Amino acid sequence: MSTATPEPADALSASASSPTAPKSVAEALTHTAGLLRFSTAGSVDDGKSTLIGRLLYDSQSVFEDQLASVRSSKINRASGPIDFSLLTDGLRAEREQGITIDVAYRYFSTPRRKFIIADTPGHEQYTRNMATGASTAEAAVVLMDATKGVLRQSRRHAFIAHLLGVQHIVAAVNKMDLVGFSQEVFDRISGEFREFADQLGIRNVYAVPVSALEGDNVVRRSKRMPWFEGPALLEHLESIPASAGAVSGPLRFPVQYVIRPDASFRGFAGQLASGELRPGTSVMALPSGVKTKIQSIVAFEDEPESAGPGNSITITLDDEIDLSRGDMLVAEEQAPFKGTEFHATLVWMHSEPLDPHKIYVLKHTTRTVRARFNQIRHRVDINTLEHVPATKLDLNEIAAVDVKTTLPLFFDPYRLNRTTGSFIVIDPLTNATVAAGIIDGAIDSGSGSRSAAHRKHSTREERILRFGHPAAAVWLKGRPHVAELVERRLFDEGWQVQLAGPNDFLSHELVTVAKAFRLSGYITVFCPLDDGTDQKQVVRAIFGPDSFFAVRITDDTDEEAVERIMNVLRKWRDTYSDPYKGKS
């Protein structure tokens, strides 16, 4: 371990010559890495405000008069020269109570990119604020205190970020100055966090040791932690690929507004959720199922040749078809689900609990319908991540529910498309936004089917879209009743699953059974008898080594075994990449 002289990485009196702020017009215009939105969560004393203040200050996004106003503030709690949290805690109530109670947005830029921080409180009673902040973020900075390690709060933030589809998690171990910049402390905390993230199926974790107070590894690499070779926090955030244009997947264009200046022009305006289009692109209109082609993309100055994800555009069509706000133009070959019933995860955001008998207003893309949530499948304990049975849903609670809408929605699972997979729930009487919803997948019934325009037989890709996973085999030896528990758990969570017990078929039928389930896209739970005839290799060959999981239960408890298997399967499902890939 290094024993370098403790000398702040840079002093607070840093001059205007910060290396991170853009230096010229040209430089400011060429944020080559585009825009990155990230969320943070934390409480009073884990140094979150200090970290953000540090990022703003070092990138010259804090102005002198704002600093002066903080310095002279009546309620400056600071003992040091500047209390950064006074810069970031915006509302009077917060300044007076020293807490952060809402989501605040902060802005700063470096020569490489512009950043938007969604700054949220970390306590359990602010779960909804964390979810709000994470809903638009591509990255999340989970702040941990080096003197305290991985707390419930850190886990909660990571879980909510993952739930809301945040792709990049940064574990910032703060207050390294208080633990003597110890590599051992950092390794222990970051290791523990990684293990947890792994369980959730989070793939992109970057851990970095920092001291927000003194600036180590925030903007510049610290000389006081030579054992750490990775980039500083800001350098890492600069290198995360921007999501603009990166939303893969087939065409989804929710019609937002119809532009009709006169009888000769009828344009359809909206923001492209995914896919690309150009004049000549074939599209299908939903709900009508009518097919036509893009005639032109109309814009204020020049007519663009093509449009990609995130672009707000206006298009005209080859044919006069019935199309208005709330409808959607999609790729004919890869249409979204069209239906009135689906599985979703709700984050409840209102003090009045969910009423399963009430009809709510549901807004999904540009479409607003009525909906009911009459079945709560289970609640997720955001601290332990356990699924617990629930009959009601209170403020800040998260649950898997069945949704039934009055009119069909055109949707994709949230994991595949954040725009067509998300919705909000509004109370029709008070007009309050009461919940955020994440679509997990269609309910396997007649109404949850793909668009009627699909006349060809269903494909493997379509089944993956519906089920949320391809076929797999779980080869479970040791305790047959655990196989039943696993099957029940998978089923309850919306997986397409079938138990293949030892008494369900004769041993020579195994190959046929395995092939049939593999073709149907099922997670098949086998619990073979221990009779010496090992047909494991046969089944493994049918499902393929990546989708075959042999489990031997030894001394785990039943619950531990189920949890272990579930974790493996969730991780496998998450690493299973976008089924649209390579299929443009």
Partner 1 sequence: MGIELKMELYTKTDDRVTSSQLDHLKMLEAESIFILREAAAEFAHPVMLYSIGKDSSVMLRLAQKAFYPGKIPFPLLHVDTSYKFPEMIEFRDWYAKHVGAELIVHKNQKALDDGANPYTLGTQKCCGLLKTRSLLDALAEGGFDAAFGGARRDEEKSRAKERVYSFRDSLGQWDPKNQRPELWSLYNSRHHKGESIRVFPLSNWTELDVWLYIHSENIPIVPLYFAKEREAIVRGEQILLLQTGVRPLPSEKPQMVKCRMRSLGCVPCTGGIRSDADTVPKIIDEMISFRRSERENRVIDHDEEGSMEIKKREGYF
Report, in Å, the least distance between residue 89 CB and partner 1: 8
How far apart, in whole angstroms, are the C-alpha atoms of residue 41 and residue 306? 38
Considering the complex, state which of residue 300 and residue 582 has its C-beta at the smaller distance from partner 1. 300
Report, in Å, the least distance between residue 107 CB and partner 1: 5
Closest by CA position to 161, among listed 438, 434, 573: 438
525, 498 contact by CB (below 8 A): yes
- The distance from CA 148 to its chain's CA centroid, rounded to whole angstroms, is 27
Considering the complex, state which of residue 332 and residue 427 has its C-beta at the smaller distance from partner 1. 427
Considering the complex, state which of residue 137 and residue 490 has its C-beta at the smaller distance from partner 1. 137
Report, in Å, the least distance between residue 392 CB and partner 1: 20
Closest by CA position to 186, among listed 206, 202, 208: 208
How far apart, in whole angstroms, are the C-alpha atoms of residue 410 and residue 327? 9
Considering the complex, state which of residue 174 and residue 396 has its C-beta at the smaller distance from partner 1. 396
Query: Strand pairing of 35-42 and 139-145?
Result: parallel
Report, in Å, the least distance between residue 472 CB and partner 1: 31
Considering the complex, state which of residue 260 and residue 508 has its C-beta at the smaller distance from partner 1. 260
Considering the complex, state which of residue 108 and residue 495 has its C-beta at the smaller distance from partner 1. 108
Report, in Å, the least distance between residue 36 CB and partner 1: 9
Half-sphere exposure of 545 (CA within 13 A, CB side): 0
Token pair 């089924």 is found at 579
Considering the complex, state which of residue 92 and residue 357 has its C-beta at the smaller distance from partner 1. 92
Which letter, b or e, does each residue of 492-511 get, where b requires 16 or more Cβ atoms within 10 Å of its Cβ? ebbbbbbbbeeeeeeeeebe
Tokens coding 367 = 């479409």
Closest by CA position to 161, among listed 34, 432, 347, 364: 347
Report, in Å, the least distance between residue 132 CB and partner 1: 5
Burial class (CB in 10 A: 0-12, 13-18, 19+), 96: exposed
Considering the complex, state which of residue 132 and residue 217 has its C-beta at the smaller distance from partner 1. 132
60, 21 contact by CB (below 8 A): yes
Tokens coding 203 = 């793939």
Report, in Å, the least distance between residue 40 CB and partner 1: 13
Closest by CA position to 424, among listed 347, 354, 518: 347
Considering the complex, state which of residue 51 and residue 185 has its C-beta at the smaller distance from partner 1. 51
Report, in Å, the least distance between residue 288 CB and partner 1: 20
Report, in Å, the least distance between residue 365 CB and partner 1: 8
Burial class (CB in 10 A: 0-12, 13-18, 19+), 68: exposed
Region for residue 190 given its phi and psi (left: phi exceeds 0; alpha: psi -120 to 50; beta: otherwise) = alpha
H or E, element range at 557: none
Considering the complex, state which of residue 227 and residue 257 has its C-beta at the smaller distance from partner 1. 257
Residues in the chain: 584
Query: Strand pairing of 139-145 and 168-174?
Result: parallel
Considering the complex, state which of residue 100 and residue 222 has its C-beta at the smaller distance from partner 1. 100
Report, in Å, the least distance between residue 131 CB and partner 1: 7
Report, in Å, the least distance between residue 267 CB and partner 1: 7
- Separation in Å, CA 218 to CA 51, 175, 235, 241: 8, 11, 8, 19
Token pair 């955030």 is found at 237
Tokens coding 250 = 């087939």
